[in-house]
Amino acid sequence: MKYISTRGQAPALSFEEVVLTGLAPDGGLYVPETLPKFTKEEIASWAGLSYQELAFNVMKPFVAGAISDEDFKKIIADAYATFRHDGIAPLVQTAHNEWILELFQGPTLAFKDFALQFLGHLLDHLLKKRNQKVVVMGATSGDTGSAAIEGCRRCDNIDIFIMHPNNRVSNVQRRQMTTVLAPNVFNIALEGNFDDCQNMVKASFGDQSFLPEGRQLVAVNSINWARIMAQIVYYFYAGLALGAPHRPIAFSVPTGNFGDIFAGYLAKQMGLPIDQLVIATNSNDILHRCISSNDHSKHQLQHTLSPSMDIMVSSNFERMLFDLYDRDGNAIRQLMEDFKSGSMTLKESALVRARELFTSHGVSDEVTIDVIREVFDRTEYLLDPHTAIGVDAARKTRRRQDIPMVVLATAHPAKFPEAVRKAGQDADPALPHHMQDLFEREERYTILPQDLAKVQQFVAANVRK
């Protein structure tokens, strides 16, 4: 299988090349040239498979011979060996035909572990085979960073540099990153917001001349295709558990960068009978505004109780636009140029198609707190603020009560004690056993100004020989 750029001016790459490349040289994002399609009978035959067995079946067509079946199965097994729940992605019922898909059972308590544990082991395999050393550079609004560090901390061929917005992630999120003292891990607290961090990463990928000779950047943000690929699996897993492919299913996805819900769109295109995909956003509602009123304009970023969604530039939306515009790279290039100046407008046919595929809803902090409180009062199940946004959006936009609605629980409530306290809990949620001493561990990070040259100097000076 080959992978092509959304902007149409970069060479097609193999799977191995696309994992190690990140952004395409024309500034676009890589997507598969064609999507694998599974028949109803094929999907039905997977009922009862373990998460790992299902992951192999769903992802194998994307790898297309780049890795042997034996090695690929081992990468998958190693990736999910550190998850705390044997079900990997268990479902919990919170109302009639309403389910929470717990995607926080991994080592850093967030859905990012599904992709980044996998990506860490995948990179390790590919780099050892190539005898190559690389630099991972990433930006995080809270959860990607810790999951990427956890996935790469033991990789001999990787130096990892993660930027987070200084004082704009929760204490738990920060400490999950900054208390990893491995020699190949470097945390940068940038004086700016997440979009500033992400812009620095994109600029660095565009010109890598600051790196020592023989090194290249590798992306761990969701611009890396392997991350999207790994996230497709849990849509199939939840669907099969609730009766697919013999009955349709709906998903509500808390999203800021669009990667997680794009994986759901791909699952639908690959044959999973998804009746509804709900884009759930917080007050930084550019995706909701785009779908509901064709307003894809940048507003002032707001800092909310759901900081992992405090994003105004949703990188993965470009992949969706590529399909909405019939894979016209020239059109996408023009749209991205328009957006650089502050806003873009979708053509009518693309907007109609987007509305057929997605419903959307924006949720305020006040409503988020109310939902956490209401669900706990009725079920004694404690939601994190991002998941609460997914629940509210699901309930406000749901089309059919007879179809199971699955809300993706993107993080453990212990990561966001402020929101939980505001919802009336007397104490902070307890951290799982393996993180009980988190606030006693030594921290190590460097505060840097919003200055690309200084960030790149720091990276170049700390790459290990």
Q: Which residues are catalytic?
A: 112
Order of strands across the sheet with 217-218?
217-218, 134-139, 158-165, 185-190, 446-448
Closest C-alpha to 394, from 251, 241, 242, 247: 251
The contacts of residue 19 (CB under 8 Å, 6+ apart) are: 119, 122, 123, 126, 218, 224, 225, 226
Cβ pair 288, 279 in contact under 8 A: yes
The contacts of residue 60 (CB under 8 Å, 6+ apart) are: 69, 72
Distance separating alpha carbons of residues 463 and 461, to the nearest angstrom: 6
Residue 105, token pair as written in the block: 């059972």
Cβ pair 38, 270 in contact under 8 A: yes
Cβ pair 419, 385 in contact under 8 A: yes
Angle at 44 between CA 43 and CA 48, to 5 degrees: 105
Residue 219's alpha-carbon distances to 192, 254, 297, 315, in angstroms, are 20, 22, 26, 13
Distance separating alpha carbons of residues 344 and 288, to the nearest angstrom: 14
Alpha helices by DSSP H, listed for 270-364, are: 286-293, 317-324, 329-340, 348-357
| Tokens 């104490």, residue located | 427
Distance separating alpha carbons of residues 6 and 141, to the nearest angstrom: 24
Closest C-alpha to 133, from 102, 157, 103, 115: 157
- Residue 179 three-state SS: coil
